[in-house]
Amino acid sequence: MIRNFLISVGLSIVFSVSSMALPLEQKIGQMLMIGFYGTTALPNSQICKDIKNYNIGSVILFDYNPTNKSKPKNIFSKAQVRKLTKQLQSCSHDGKLLIAVDQEGGRVQRLKHKYGFYGKFPKASDVVKMDQSQIYNTYKQMSKELKSVGINYDLAPVVDLDINKKNHVIHGLGRSFGKDPKVVASYAKTFIKAMHSNGVLTSLKHFPGHGSSVGDTHKGFVDVTNLWKKVELEPYSLLKNSADTVMVAHVFNKKIDVKYPASLSSKTINGLLRKKLGYKGVVITDDLQMGAISKKYGLKSTLKLAINAGDDILLIGNQLDPEKVKSTKKLVDTIVSLVKSEAVKEESINSAYRRIQKLKQKL
């Protein structure tokens, strides 16, 4: 016990010293999850240079290429993905680059059958028809496949409650485990345990609840004020000690914040999720280029609000609008200028950096 205590004290000292010693740009780099175009990451590629120069903390892989439908964006075969993730890790400073995909099952699985993956994992609404051991084995198989190609971060499970039959984003795609928060939390816990069995990190989504919504935040502004129910917070409360990370949605909810959508709201993240519900881990945004954000806020304002709200990982997928690809340099330079002008406190960057390093210890 004393030994464990000394190890944890030692690590916290190392973190505080290393976070002081690291250049600001490289601490900011750890906060970025970048989407990029390419099925390889050779040393002279832009993504590899960005990971090296800016100490990027995470990347996200997609199969669908919005700029050229006849070519893959990052994924076209098992061997290729395995090679890509090895190349990406070799570009990173610590060999612990977070390499993420959305792999839920059902319609949302990036590792598809046509690329040589299993690709037939069931959606959440079908998973609930299985018994617990079947569910665990299903998700263990999923985690094994992720691990086999070097993916260490799954942006799942969905813990939204299935409480609105008109919701085509969650209910319509069968992405929810059900209406009862205890049942949903139980299935999510099984998912997390199965992922951890192969060293894959997870993310609960979409805080503070997307199950009651009607609109799609990919396309634009979604106000859930009159539909949202407090019960949607319960899975997060039940899972706060099991969760690796929590993804925050772009839904707007006047009951929580009259001014900003959840992902840019300090009342939602620092106030509700961290202080009230007591969640201590990493918070990741949903893609900040989704219509709900990009149509209303400029880049500088988005980054300022997201960091001040308490987000740790800022997801820039470079996926939704080929004409609005954001370079890592632009993102880092913008955040540096926000710190220099004191629009963002450097301590917010340091806090996010420390939480991310603690998360990476689990790998």
- Which one is catalytic: 93, 180, 218, 321? 218
Tell me the torsion sign for CA atoms 26, 31, 35, 39: positive
DSSP 286-298: SPTTSHHHHTT--
Cβ of 248: how many Cβ atoms within 10 Å? 26
* CA–CA–CA angle 241, 30, 273 (5° rounding): 30
Q: 299-304 long-range contacts, Cβ below 8 Å, gap at least 24?
A: 299/326, 299/330, 299/331, 299/334, 300/334, 300/337, 300/338, 302/264, 303/331, 303/334, 303/335, 303/338, 303/344, 304/338, 304/343, 304/344
Q: Tell me whether residue 218 is one of the annotated catalytic residues.
A: yes
Q: Please tell me which residue in 154, 160, 257, 286 is annotated as part of the active site.
A: 286
Q: Residue 209 pairs with which residues in a beta bridge?
A: none
Say if CB 212 and CB 176 are below 8 A apart. no
Q: Which residue has the tokens 């006849």?
A: 70
DSSP state of 248: E
- 286 catalytic per annotation: yes
Give backbone dihedrals phi and psi of 89, rounded to 5 degrees, phi first. -60, -35
Number of H helices, E strands in the chain: 12, 10
Distances (CA, A) of 272 to 184, 230, 246, 266, 359: 20, 12, 13, 8, 21
Residues classed as catalytic = 218, 286
